[in-house]
């Protein structure tokens, strides 16, 4: 099958059979463009979908891993036309070695497919995911259908988010392109049962989904998985309404106990424990109280810094507040080792992990310093404005409301105190990724 790229008029040759297939379209490998995939929609593209994709192509989020030769956000790069000039799809980068997160957080599958992927790497994968969501939110996009099937990871704990054409955003002309899809296990309770076709999503909706996925990565099961311990409860009715009622394992008065294979919440870093309560307990009553992607990222960085390596098993990592290795105790109690000893162990791996922790520590300190400087500048600006110095009050770039090729620059929505990645930070981050290559292989 032959098609053409709109911008370059390059002719592309698609394989005859699709590589993958979803509800909206089919994914094909490109014979003469091996680093890209083509998504061909099952139905013809209307003008609204075409305009949405064009706006996305011209306004990609800041993929901070690109400079390190890793693509963490699989973004549309050009539209595809058939021989008659009709728009039929788009091309996007091809993540060749990525596997869905299930292969890493599910204990049995991980033992078979990634036996050296230990708890430290699961923390790193969660941190990288939070960084990706942070970058997407910073640009004004809402993911909407954030789920494990749309997240790929490689053996280095690096994340790639796919299916990005379903994102929600509002362009500079005020037109909103909605995310009309959702997945039950990752949909926040306030959206369950609603028609999502024209439902405006918010960042705190993504924050709920992010919290569920981070919990999956760290524990291997959902925060709602447990056994009912209260008599007289209709099991089928309970589980059908569990998420909507906010009954997770640690919610107040939840009639749930840990599943047989479960692990207590207090094995993780204290800040992560707090964020899970904010996400699923406080956030159930008030969704805006859910942790942001930035909060998740910083707490995970602190958790990585605080991990200790077991002297008995090089694949056992535990939070240092426990003093003893939790996974060794769990192995004795459950007669099952979630993280068996590493295969082909590298004698230098312990030193390399410490270097990785030190690098993350430097990155966290860099962000903290940047945040402090930003807060100082904001306080100074506020003081000047109170004195009548109104120059430069609006730092947003000028917008043309008739131009739908750019995103909304609503200052109250998009102006953020999120620390920007400085050149020094990029160097630190690059070293961290380089070390992760050494650690995994």
- Three-state SS string over 132-145 comes to HHHHHHHCCCECCC
Residue 235 has pLDDT above 80, yes or no: no
340-393: per-residue pLDDT in tens?
Answer: 998 776 666 777 888 889 999 999 998 888 878 777 666 666 555 555 555 544
CA distance 419 to 334: 43
Residue 337 has pLDDT above 70, yes or no: yes
Residue 280 has pLDDT above 50, yes or no: yes
CA distance 31 to 43: 23
16-38: per-residue pLDDT in tens?
Answer: 999 898 878 999 999 999 999 99
- pTM of model > 0.85: yes
Are 119 and 95 spatial neighbours (Cβ–Cβ below 8 Å)? no
Q: Residue 282 domain-assigned?
A: yes
168 and 289 part of one domain = yes
216 and 290 part of one domain = yes
CA distance 118 to 111: 10
Give the pLDDT of residue 378. 64
Structural domains in the chain (count): 2
160 and 300 part of one domain = yes
For residue 33, the enclosing domain spans 1-94
CA distance 399 to 173: 9
Q: Residue 244 domain-assigned?
A: no
211 and 73 part of one domain = no
Neighbour-count burial of 174, counting CB atoms closer than 10 A to its CB (0-12 exposed, 13-18 middle, 19+ buried): exposed
Sign of dihedral through CA atoms 401, 407, 413, 417?
Answer: negative
């Amino acid at each position: 099958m032959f098609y053409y790229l709109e911008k370059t008029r390059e002719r592309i040759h698609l394989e005859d059979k699709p590589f993958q297939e979803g509800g909206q379209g089919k994914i094909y490998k490109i014979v003469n463009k091996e680093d890209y995939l083509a998504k061909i929609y099952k139905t013809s593209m209307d003008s609204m979908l075409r305009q949405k994709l064009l706006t996305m192509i011209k306004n990609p989020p800041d993929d901070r891993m690109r400079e390190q030769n890793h693509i963490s956000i699989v973004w549309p790069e050009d539209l595809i036309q058939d021989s008659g000039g009709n728009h039929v799809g788009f091309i996007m980068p091809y993540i060749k070695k990525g596997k869905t997160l299930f292969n890493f957080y599910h204990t049995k599958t991980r033992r078979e497919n990634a036996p050296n992927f230990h708890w430290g790497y699961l923390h790193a994968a969660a941190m990288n995911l939070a960084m990706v969501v942070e970058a997407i939110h910073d640009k004004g996009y809402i993911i909407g259908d954030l789920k494990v099937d749309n997240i790929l990871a490689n053996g280095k704990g690096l994340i790639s988010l796919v299916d990005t054409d379903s994102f929600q955003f509002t362009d500079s002309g005020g037109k909103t392109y909605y995310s009309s899809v959702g997945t039950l296990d990752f949909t926040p309770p306030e959206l369950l049962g609603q028609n999502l076709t024209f439902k405006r999503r918010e960042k705190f909706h993504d924050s709920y989904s992010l919290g569920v996925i981070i919990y999956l990565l760290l524990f291997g099961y959902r925060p709602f998985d447990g056994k009912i311990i209260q008599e007289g409860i209709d099991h089928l009715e309970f589980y059908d309404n569990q998420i909507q009622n906010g009954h997770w394992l640690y919610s107040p008065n939840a009639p749930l106990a840990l599943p047989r294979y479960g692990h207590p919440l207090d094995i993780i870093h204290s800040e992560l424990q707090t964020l899970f309560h904010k996400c699923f307990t406080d956030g159930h009553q008030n969704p805006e109280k859910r942790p942001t992607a930035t909060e998740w990222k910083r707490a995970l960085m602190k958790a990585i810094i605080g991990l200790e390596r077991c002297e008995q098993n090089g694949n056992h990592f535990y939070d240092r507040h426990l003093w003893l290795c939790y996974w060794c105790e769990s192995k004795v109690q459950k007669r099952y080792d979630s993280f068996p000893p590493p295969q082909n162990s590298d004698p230098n791996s312990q030193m390399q992990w410490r270097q990785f922790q030190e690098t993350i520590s430097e990155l966290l300190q860099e962000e903290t310093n940047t945040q402090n400087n930003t807060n100082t500048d904001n306080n100074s600006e506020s003081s000047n404005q109170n004195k009548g110095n109104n120059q430069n009050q609006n730092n947003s770039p000028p917008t043309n409301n008739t131009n739908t090729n750019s995103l909304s620059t609503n200052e109250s929505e998009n102006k953020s105190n999120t620390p920007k990645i400085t050149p020094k930070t990029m160097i630190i981050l690059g070293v961290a990724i380089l070390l992760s290559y050494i650690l995994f292989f």
